[in-house]
Structure 1
Amino acid sequence: MAKIAVLGAGLGGSIMAYELRDQVGRDDEIILINRGSIYSFVPSNPWVAVGWREREDVEIDLAPACAKRNIRLRPEGAARVIPSENRVAMLDGSSVEYDYLVIATGPELAFDEIEGFGPEAKTQSVCHIDHALMTKAAFERLVANPGPVVIGAVQGASCFGPAYEFAFILDKALRDAKVRDRVPMTFVTSEPYIGHLGLDGVGDTKGLLESALRSKHIKWITNARVTKFTSEEVLAEEINDDGTVKAAHAIASRFTMMLPAFRGVAAVRDIEGLTNPRGFILADKHQQNPTFKNIFSVGVCVAIPPMGKTPVPVGVPKTGFMIESMVTATAHNIARMIEGGAPNAQGTWNAVCLADFGDGGIAFVAQPQIPPRNVNWSSQGKWVHAAKIGFEKYFLYKVRQGKSEPFYEKLALQALGIDKLKAVSFD
């Protein structure tokens, strides 16, 4: 009997535990480690932040599904992974021993790297449900007392889609409140151009997103390096291609929401052979750590090098299909190792993304995620908003029911008409 621990119960970790249950033997033990028993659907946070969703709409207690699927839930939270001893030290002083470990922690939010940054300081966030509810209160204050707004993503960020989403969702919510005419909006991003997304664009995301920003009267600054946030301004330098400062900006802002850079969580940072200097988990093409062969990783915590040099540092996003791809490959590889074989499945790391704009949106497919690509497609329309709602409902349903069926592959096959998008490939 093998003992498999999954560390983290977010988008990747929850379905990781479910898919392992489908792949390994009935006598193999699966332990899901998380801080608390609640799963929160992070892609809905921009809606929470403007009052279109409540906390209870986007959260699920994992305990019933884990019990139904014979998964042991440990909600005490992890203090430290100790690979040399094959155990996870828990916050309550106990330990979880494992034969195999899948790290799916997601990131730590590096707000402390810029003065005045974060929900405990001068800015808002949609990265966590608690942050989104704080942002909702700030949004209500903005509606009552309109003024300038800054939305975007800072240097080192690797997640840009939610910044664009929130800019357009906020625009829609302000129009609904009849105060948009008194709220100048500026999109400030570390991307070298609008629609880069950490992927050097997909299809015509540059043209589509520039046009969308322009049509909503949202100005933008690219190649931006933020130096400080205050309660009244965002201070940022616009950087030339050679690294010199093109212009210094002091952008008035009564309401600021910018996505931070990520780093690995404290439980795994600074473990030689396990993480890179930023604290992300080192993994080969099979999601397996090169040093600790019984450790795998999926999701945002995985170390992926940037696509190339940009004037301001920009990371590579881990999109939903990519995470599902990692999960499926990892479940197959662990099952194979338990049977005495070697890992031979690898995620295809294609990107399928739905970016909701409140009353429309943009969808894109990149196959593979990093160019050059076989599929390089993007489109827009009101159907994207409807598809995102469907995605939310389906994903919450499958987490509640303990199901591991992939969503993005079905979306690509059925809705987008792309018939060659596969989750995994084999050596």
Structure 2
Amino acid sequence: MAHIVIVGAGLGGMPMAYEMREAARPSDRVTVIANTAKFHFVPSNPWVAVNWRQREEIELEIEPLLKKHDIGFIHAAVSRVHPGQNRVELDDGRSIDYDYLVLATGPRLAFDEIEGLGPRGHTQSICHVDHAAHARTAWEGFVADPGPIVVGAVQGASCFGPAYEFAMIMETDLRRRKVRDQVPMTFVTSEPYIGHLGLGGVGDSKGLMESIFRDKHIRWICNAKVDRVEAGRMFVTEHDEDGKPKKTHELPFSYSMMLPAFKGVEAVYGIEGLTNPRGFVLIDAQQRNPTYPNIYAVGVCVAIPPVETTPVPTGTPKTGYMIESMVTATAQNIRAVLDGLPPVRKATWNAVCLADFGDNGAAFVALPQIPPRNVNWFSHGKWVHLAKVAFEKYFMHKMKKGTTETVYEKVVMDALGIMKLKGN
């Protein structure tokens, strides 16, 4: 009998638990440890922030879901992983031993790297449902007394899609409230150009997003570093293509949402051989850590190098399709090892994204995520908005049922089918 411990219960951890339970032997124990009692569907956070969703609509109690599938659950934070001892230390003083450990922790949000950034500073966040609920309260105050908006992603950020998504959702909500004319909007990003997305662009994402921004009267500043944020004022340095300071901007705002850079969580940060200098977990092609081969990692906590060098640092996003592929590979590789076989399954690092823009949306498919690609497609239309709404309901249904069906696989196939119909 083996004890397989999964740390984290988010978009990586919950599917990991379900797939691991299905792949494991009947005698093996699967236990999830999480610092939250509820799963929440992160892609819906922008809707929560403008009061289009209540947080209760995108949350599920974790313990009863796992219990139905004979998966153990410990509601506690992991204070430290001790890989040499095969145990994790919890913040309540307990220690949990493991035979195999899967890290699905998600990231630590590095608001502290920029003075005044984040919910404890002067900007909002949609990275967590708690942040989105806080942002909603601020939004309701803002629309009653509108002014300038600054939105985007800071230097070192790797998840750019939600910044575009939230900018467009805010723009849509303002139009519906008939106060859009009172709100100048500026998109500030570390990307070298609009639509880069941390992926070197996908299809004509640059041209399409620039066109959308021009149509919606959203100005932009690229190659931007946020120096500091004060109440109602953001200080930004724009850089040239060589990474040298080019121009400084002092941007007034009445409302701002800026995505932060990510780091590894404290539980693993600084463990030699386990993580890189930013605290992300080092893995091989089979999702295993090279130093501690009984430790696997999936999702945003995984170390992935940037797609390319950019004038201002940008990271590479880990999209849902990639995460699900990591989960499946990890579950099958652990089962192979349990059976005395070498792990051979590799994740398919493809990028698929549905970004809701309020009343329409943008979708991209990058196969593989890192160029050169076999498929390099970007599209825009109302169908994306409808697909994102349907996808939310489908994923929540998957979590309730505990099915291991790969949701993003269906999205990819549908997108490729649309491309074929359009003759692309």
TM-score range, shorter chain: over 0.9
Contact between 1:413 and 1:419, CA under 8 Å: does it hold in 2?
no
In structure 2, C-alpha distance between the alignment counterparts of 1:116 and 1:329, rounded to whole Å: 40
Unaligned runs of 5+ in 2: none
Q: Structure 2-normalised TM-score?
A: 0.98
Structure 1 residue 419: deviation in Å?
11
Identity fraction in percent: 60
| 2:22 is the counterpart of 1:22 | yes
Q: Which moved more, 1:395-404 or 1:8-17?
A: 395-404
Distance in 1, Cα, partners of 2:10 & 2:247: 40
Distance 1:37 1:243 in 2: 44
CA displacement, residues 399-424 of structure 1 (integer Å, 9 cap, x when unaligned): 1121221111112223531899xxxx
Residue 172 of structure 2 aligns with which residue?
A: 172
The answer as to whether partners of 1:62 and 1:400 remain within 8 angstroms in 2 is: no
Partner of 2:197: 197
Q: 2:414 and 2:141 mapped to 1: Cα distance?
A: 42
Q: Secondary structure at the residue paired with 2:362?
A: strand
Q: CA deviation at 1:308?
A: 2.1
Q: Is the aligned partner of 1:248 residue 2:248?
A: yes
User: Distance in 2 between the 1:214 and 1:139 partners?
Assistant: 24
1:107-151 deviation digits (Å, cap 9, x = unpaired): 000000001101011111101111101111111111111100000
Q: Which runs of 4+ in 1 moved over 2 A?
A: none
| CA contact 1:157–1:259 (8 Å) conserved in 2 | yes
**For residues 39 and 232 of structure 2, what CA distance do their matches in structure 1 show?**
35
Give runs of aligned pairs for residues 257-336 of structure 1, distance below 5 A.
257-336=257-336
SS at match of 2:135: helix
Question: Residue 210 of structure 1: CA displacement?
Answer: 0.8
Provide the rounded CA distance (Å) in 1 between the counterparts of 2:418 and 2:276: 35
For residues 19-73 of structure 1, give each alpha carbon's deviation from its aligned partner in whole angstroms, at most 9, with x where no partner exists. 0011111111000010132101111000000000001000000111111100000
How far apart are the structure 2 equivalents of 1:251 and 1:152?
Answer: 13
Q: Once the 2 structures are TM-superposed, how far is the Cα of residue 355 of structure 1 from its aligned partner?
A: 0.7
Whole-angstrom CA distance in 1 between matches of 2:249 and 2:419:
46
SS at structure 2 position matched to 1:165: helix
Give 3-state SS (helix, strand or coil) of 1:345's partner: coil
Say which is worse superposed, 208-217 or 155-164, in terms of deviation.
208-217
Distance 2:310 2:302 in 1: 21
Q: Match of 1:396? A: 396
- In the alignment, the residues of structure 2 paired with residue 243 and residue 211 of structure 1 have an alpha-carbon distance, to the nearest angstrom, of 25
Q: Could you tell me which runs of 5 or more consecutive residues in structure 1 were left unpaired when the two chains were aligned.
A: 421-427
Cα deviation, 1:267-315, whole Å, max 9, x if unaligned, reads 1101010000000000011100000000000000000011221110000
Q: What are the superposed Cα offsets for residues 306-325 of structure 1, whole Å, 9 maximum, x if unpaired?
A: 12211100000000100001
Matches of 1:94 and 1:200, distance apart in 2:
45
Aligned residues: 420
- Match of 1:335, as an amino acid? R
What residue number does 2:5 align with? 5
SS of corresponding position for 1:11: coil
2:200–2:308: 8 Å Cα contact kept in structure 1? no
Superposition pairs of residues 24-423 of structure 1, within 5 angstroms: 24-417=24-417
User: The residue matched to 2:378 in structure 1 has which SS?
Assistant: strand
Contact 2:9 2:105 in 1 (8 A): yes
Q: TM-score, normalised by structure 1?
A: 0.97
